[in-house]
Structure 1
Amino acid sequence: MRFPGTNVELKIISSRDGVDVQCMEEQERYEYELDTDSYNLNEIPGVVIPSRINRQYASGVLAPGSYVGSFKLTLVDRSAAEVSHLYVEVHSKKLAYESEYRAMLEDIAEKCTDLLLRVSSPAEQTFVPDRFADESTLAQRLYFLLGLLGGQDFRGALDRLIAFPNTQWSEEQRTVDLHQVGRPTRAIMRQISSATPRRPTPTGHPLEVTFPSLPSRVERSSKQDTVDTPENRFVKFVLQSFLGTLGRLLDYFHRTARGDYPRLENDILQLVADFEETLTDSFFKHVAPMTSLPLSSVVLQQKDGYRQVLRAWSQFQIAARLTWAGGDDVYRGGKKDAAILYEYWVYFRLLDLVSEVFEFDQPPIESLLNQDEFTLRLKSGRHVVVGGIYRGMGRTLQVEFSYNRTFPGGVGQYPEAGSWTRSMRPDYSLSLWPAGVNKVQAENQELVTHVHFDAKYRVDSLLELFGTGDDDLEEDRTHQRRSSYQRADLLKMHSYRDAIRRTAGAYVIYPGTEGVQFSGYHELLPGLGAFALRPDSLDDGSDSIQQFLREVVANVCDRGSHRELQSYYTHKIHATTPDPVLKSLSEVVDGSRVVPPTETFVLLGWIRGPDHLEWIKTSLLYNFRAEDRRGSLRLSQTVSAATYLLLHGEGERRSGGRLLGVKGSGPRVFSSELLEERGYPYPASGHYLVFDVNELESDDPLNGYDWDLAMVPGSGSGRQSGLPFGVALSQLMKGAIER
């Protein structure tokens, strides 16, 4: 291929098979050669890479990456001055790329204009070309207009409208000879008696006596079906308006963009040609110019074909002025980045789904659009958030739906919000917490639940996303070295789930047909997985996502869920610094894991003498006073849920003690009389809390310790040393002395 205006030839060679190509594919690498060393291609870091080796011909590497569309190659001389340029098409590997790209662009254009129509009347909008708009802004507007008008929906609406037009009866006055009148009407009879010029009535005519003379010609009215209706005049006006606006925009764009968007210009020119051809249809030849806007017409608002034209006209007035901050990411310089466009499209689809489940505090337009400047703020990497509320299922929730929320990394100590490793920024995040609690409190108290989503356009199947369940790990390593690792997205979801505090789920959204969900336990959350969401007007897969959102809300509202219980204990556990327990304890009892020492409670009871100890060993009971006298025991959690009883007596404060097990599910209340019947040697109080006790198993590691009670928090000294109390085993182990 030759650069225009020069004799310089460019050859592009596929690195995969060494064949000369006229166009490129995304994600592939190519070598290029020029037939001279006096010129080279302008370098684009990582994309156009000229060789540094001195050769007879200039050469280098082309790596379009994810770029799709018209790729501009600029020829420069040795002083880096531009000499010429040409465009090479970069094709997508996805077969449905073009149709999906157009469908997404149409959806976004429609969504943006719908948002603006809520606050701006199209009848008040007058398009004036912005002479200060740059070529990028104009390109965005033209792409929006192309998305609105270039699809099959609008074309089909025009076809249906012309095939089944709105018509009305019209009355036409014609001058005819008297003998052509037929059956005379009252109006004809009046003309017979008075119309001029007249001529004598023929002799012998039945009317000779009544009318000596008759008019030679009379006016006769006739009714006929006509398409010249206010609604059809409006349609004609709309098409003419489209042509005028597109023409002015395209003319200014052509002078500004300097040919950097050849495909866009061709598409707009084709659209203009289609409209011009439509206006030449015989249908419009019988339609007069519009004299007033029939916006209240039932036909315009309800009849198929007309309804779509009215909607397109309303949207067109807005789209011709709209600027999109993220548009450059999608189509600057003629590229068609459907991956970025898919990310934006998914945002709007999720916004629709979230809007159906939650009530927004304010319309999304206030977060997404600058109404004064007609600018869409949505841009990859820029944080956009809409807040709302949920009422139902016994709980009111605050809700935030975020695009590009950054969770800062390396945050301070728990419970600060963010990622405890590096900063992470999921594409979309849904955060829920109880109403009446501010967001900081919700984070600090484990009351918030985050669910994240990432958009992945360039995959078509779950296999590409997550691999298979029986992947060979050695094969995984091979894929990693080749940069074709299939589990990368799965690991990224794990990273979101594990690193971002209070994250309950992370999911990929991709344009496929299958979804999958992995649950950590038997509940929906915590979970990972993928949802299929595709630009398909018939079934885009959004039903499964909406159902998932409702299930997430149900799980968060469920005060009895394990997720709720886990979040409560996470807050409780990490609210304090634990005491280390580095001494031997049992691991398993009766085949079950033992309760951690922080949740295992021990009662400390005083032995009044040898006869008291003997009674305890014989009866396997121990009693505490249950009155308001000194030495009585309050029935707290540490008391009622005690697992062990540590007996100690005179001279055993710093060493000694005897540890017993506590049986049953709590104490019983005995009267002094009943306790005396059981042989208790010191009945004095009216009532006692009585625990059933037993000797520890011989292999229990706790049998190997004496106890220094002075080291146990809560233990008294002197006369206070005999007072009963409960303590966690982790606290008691501070006084454990190995024998």
Structure 2
Amino acid sequence: MPQNNQVLEKREGYRQVFYAAAMVDLAPQLNWEGEQEAYSGESKNTALLYEYWLFFELRKIISSIDNCQCVQASEKPFINTDNGLTISLSEGQTSCQAFLLPDLGTRVNLYYNRTFSREEFSNTKYVGSYSRPFRPDYTLEVYPSDYLKPEDAVREGAVSYIHFDAKYRITDLRFFIGPDENEMTEEQIKEEVENDKQDSVTNTYKRGDLLKMHTYNDAIRRTVGSYVLYPGDFDSKTKNYRLFEEVLPGVGAFAIKPSIQADSENALKDFIYEIIEARSRKYSRLNRMLSYSNLVLGEPAISMLDKRTTGKEKDNKNIHSDLCVIGYLRPDYYELLSREDLLSEGRTFVFYYYAIKGESVYSHHEDIGKAKYIRFYQNDINATGRYEIEPLKGIIKSSELVSKKQLDDLLTENGSNDGKERSADFYYVLKVEIVSCAEPKISCNNSDLNGVNGNDTFSPHSPKVVNEDWF
């Protein structure tokens, strides 16, 4: 057959016949491991076919994002062209299609039947399920494009998982969420009681599919959303449930089937794009929540060996230890605090420093959240080359992350608001009680402090952390 014939390629009628002949010719060359399960004998496994079809749909949806690039997956690839065209999609076996989204600075791996097994803690590598194994039908693994391998992103706590399950037996969203979202019906209560009596491993009641999405969110570490895909009628008002006002984390359902393919694809594409875009925003609630979680997970665990120590003493001993923060008080703020008599022994005031400004998330010493004490300086260390540490000493009573509006309210409440416009969007706030005004005043070179206890890499006036014996 003349493959490059212009008549066959372009003329109406010939072009369609040529395309059909090419597809027929290609089909016998395709090696697909899962075809026997779906097409065995005269029967067709419709639920499994729907499951396979959805993988192709998800792949097409992600591929259609602007400037998306399909790349070779490090896991078992979905398509292999080493020895002809091989598709690895097969029920119960993990396969993967990888994507690079340069506009969002993100990599996405689309998994089919990936198993999340129970794994113990190992440094900061918190992966898998903390209870029994789970195997969602499809998993999106989202992480920054700076990491070439997902394993590297996992170690840094930079991976998020979004799961989808195909539920062929659901045709109406009401079967999924129930007729009343606020109360359980008598039928639902009876069904759950029966399941409890039978000690069922899986809940066959359709409302249980929503509960399974909650289970994915809770059990599989780093999961930020889980959603059901079902062959129902498209509804533009389909509701998804969010833990807070951002798109993630959450649970929900999407109707998608070939007969409503265009509308469903567009709705699902918009949602998936919103998921990936939200994950790429450094200052979103989601990323700040993950950042704090990783910070806490990186801390050493509280020792449970000394059972004679009370809980309060144990916190002071293991969390706060003997660490001290060295914080910068601007001269004008120092003067305001002094004028309001807030630097006297027994008084409490607000110490604050940058957290997020625009798209910049400020890094600070990893042990700052464990320090018990705080000392201060107010001189310009860049100009003098020295730290002039004041004789004040305080105890850190509490710490929190607040917006600039909340910071203004705290300063007003404390009687120390200077009325100036705040330049950052979010601040870390420490509530400090002065316990001594007669500590030895310390003068040292910048290098004497900046080179100690991991303080080298931070900005000049960011808080430093030292051990008490440093003084």
TM-score range, shorter chain: 0.5 to 0.7
Secondary structure in 1 aligned to 2:190? helix
Q: 1:621 aligns with which of 323, 343, 351?
A: 343
Check conservation: 1:466, 1:488, Cα contact below 8 A.
Answer: no
Q: Which amino acid aligns with 1:467?
A: G
Q: Residue 325 in 1 paired to residue 27 in 2?
A: no
- What one-letter code is carried by the residue in structure 2 that aligns with 1:501? R
Aligned to 1:424: 134
Aligned partners of 1:519 and 1:527 also within 8 Å = yes
> What's the offset of the Cα at 1:338?
0.5
* Match status 1:465 vs 2:176: yes
CA shift in 2, pair 1:643/1:328, >3 Å: same
The answer for the alignment partner of 2:218 in structure 1 is 498
Equivalent position SS for 2:17:
helix
The 5 A counterparts of 1:213-232 are: none
Aligned residue number for residue 429 of structure 2: none
1:566 aligns with 2:289: yes
User: In the alignment, which residue of structure 1 is the partner of 2:430?
Assistant: none
CA gap 1:633/1:475 in 2 versus in 1, 3 angstroms? farther
Q: Give CA-to-partner distance per residue, 1:116-174, whole Å, 9 cap, x none.
A: xxxxxxx5xxxxxxxxxxxxxxxxxxxxxxxxxxxxxxxxxxxxxxxxxxxxxxxxxxx
Native 8 Å contact 1:479 1:486 kept in 2: no
Aligned twin of 2:389 = 633
- Measured in 1, the distance between the counterparts of 2:39 and 2:391 equals 72
Shift of 1:448: 0.8
Deviation at 1:306, TM superposition (A): 2.7
Give the SS at the match of 2:136: coil
Change in 2 beyond 3 A, CA 1:572/1:538: closer
Tell me the distance in 1 between the aligned counterparts of 2:281 and 2:21: 48
SS at match of 1:454: strand
**Counterpart for residue 478 of structure 1:** 190
Higher relative contact order (CA 8 A, sep 6+): 2
Q: How far did 1:545 drift? A: 1.0
Q: State the shift of 1:362 in Å.
A: 4.0
Conserved in 1, the CA contact under 8 Å of 2:278 and 2:284? yes
User: Counterpart in 2 of 1:672?
Assistant: none
Contact 2:228 2:254 in 1 (8 A): yes
Q: State the alpha-carbon separation in 2 of the partners of residues 562 and 342 from structure 1.
A: 35
TM-score, reference length from structure 2:
0.62
1:363: how far off?
A: 9.7
Deviates more, 1:324-333 or 1:309-318: 324-333
Q: Per-residue deviation at 1:307?
A: 2.2
Q: Which residue of 2 aligns with 1:511?
A: 231
Distance verdict in 2 for CA 1:317–1:634, change over 3 Å? farther
| 1:372 equivalent in alignment to 2:83 | yes
Cα distance change, pair 420–390 in 1 and its aligned pair in 2 (3 A)? same
Q: Which moved more, 1:551-560 or 1:354-363?
A: 354-363
2:276 is the alignment partner of 1:553: yes
SS state of the match for residue 258, structure 2? coil
State the one-letter code of the partner of 1:582: G
Contact 2:73–2:96 (CA<8 Å) still a contact in 1? no
Q: Structure 1 residues 631, 502: closer, same or farther in 2, change over 3 A?
A: closer
Structure 1 residue 531: Cα displacement: 1.1
- Partners of 2:78 and 2:87 within 8 A in 1: no
CA offsets 1:537-565 (integer angstroms, 9 cap, x no match):
76351111111121112112211101110
The CA distance in 2 between the partners of 1:451 and 1:407, in whole Å, is 13
SS in 2 for 1:430: strand
Percentage of identical aligned residues = 28
Q: Quote the offset at 1:464 in angstroms.
A: 1.9
SS in structure 2 opposite 1:539? Answer: helix
C-alpha displacement at 1:486, in angstroms? 2.9
Distance 1:412 1:642, change over 3 A: closer
Closer, same or farther: CA 411–328 of 1 in aligned 2, 3 Å: farther
Query: How far apart are the structure 2 equivalents of 1:486 and 1:356?
Result: 32
Partner of 1:582: 311
Separation in 2 of the partners of 1:406 and 1:635? Answer: 58
Once the two structures are superposed, what CA deviation does each residue of 1:430-452 show, in whole Å capped at 9, x if it has no partner? 11111223422321332111111
1:665: how far off?
7.3
2:366 equivalent in structure 1: none
Give, in whole Å, the separation in 2 of the partners of 1:631 and 1:361: 52
Unaligned runs of 5+ in 1: 1-122, 124-292, 585-596, 605-615, 645-661, 667-680, 688-712, 724-739
Post-superposition shift, 1:490? 0.5
- Structure 1 match to 2:107: 398
* In 2: Cα distance, 1:635 partner to 1:312 partner: 86
TM-score by length of 1: 0.41
**Corresponding residue to 1:411 among 110, 120, 136:** 120
Q: Cα distance 1:629–1:430, how it changes in 2: closer, same or farther (>3 A)?
A: closer
Alpha-carbon deviations, 1:9-40, whole Å to 9, x = none? xxxxxxxxxxxxxxxxxxxxxxxxxxxxxxxx
CA contact (8 A) 1:602 1:643 kept: no
Tell me how large the CA RMSD over aligned residues is. 4.2
Q: Which amino acid aligns with 1:543?
A: N
CA–CA distance in structure 2, aligned partners of residues 457 and 625 of structure 1: 65
Indicate whether 1:539 and 2:249 are aligned: no
- Give the secondary structure class of the aligned counterpart of 2:106: strand
Question: Per-residue CA shift, 1:670-727, capped at 9, x if unaligned?
Answer: xxxxxxxxxxx99x9899xxxxxxxxxxxxxxxxxxxxxxxxx9555xxx9xx6xxxx
C-alpha distance 318-714 of structure 1, shift in aligned 2 (>3 A): closer
Q: Is the 8 A contact 1:603 1:642 kept in 2?
A: no
Map 1:671-686 to 2 at 5 A: none
Q: Which runs of 4+ in 1 moved over 6 A?
A: 363-366, 601-604, 627-631, 684-687
Q: How does 1:194-205 map to 2 (within 5 A)?
A: none
Alignment correspondent of 1:388: 99
Q: Per-residue displacement from partner, 1:256-284 (whole Å, max 9, x unpaired)?
A: xxxxxxxxxxxxxxxxxxxxxxxxxxxxx
Map Cα deviations across residues 171-192 of structure 1 (whole Å, 9 max, x no partner).
xxxxxxxxxxxxxxxxxxxxxx
Partner SS for 1:402 = strand
Letter in 1 for 2:6: S
Deviations 1:406-448 (A, max 9, x none): 1112433563311111111111111111122342232133211
Structure 1 residues 685 and 568: CA distance shift in structure 2, 3 A: closer
How far residue 323 of structure 1 moved from its aligned partner, in angstroms, is 3.8
Could you say if the C-alpha distance between residues 664 and 457 of structure 1 is closer, same or farther in structure 2, counting changes exceeding 3 Å? Answer: same
- Looking at structure 1, the residues matched to 64 and 468 of structure 2 have their Cα atoms a distance apart, in angstroms, of 59
Larger Rg: 1
Taking structure 1 as reference, are residues 494 and 536 closer, same or farther at Cα in structure 2, changes over 3 Å only? Answer: same
2:213 maps to a residue whose letter is: M
- Say yes or no: does 1:344 pair with 2:52: yes
Matches within 5 A, 1:185-334: 293=2, 295-298=4-7, 300-334=8-42
- What are the residue-to-residue correspondences of 1:79-118 with 2, within 5 Å? none
CA distance in 2 between partners of 1:533 and 1:408 (Å): 29
Q: Distance in 1 between matches of 2:63 and 2:385?
A: 63
SS of residue in 2 equivalent to 1:479? helix
- How many angstroms does 1:642 deviate by? 4.7
Distance verdict in 2 for CA 1:500–1:484, change over 3 Å = closer
The answer to whether the 8 Å contact 1:443/1:502 transfers is no
Q: Secondary structure at the match of 2:240?
A: strand
Determine the C-alpha separation between the residues in 2 that align with 1:294 and 1:337. 36
Amino acid of the structure 1 residue aligned with 2:190 = T
C-alpha displacement at 1:525, in angstroms? 0.8
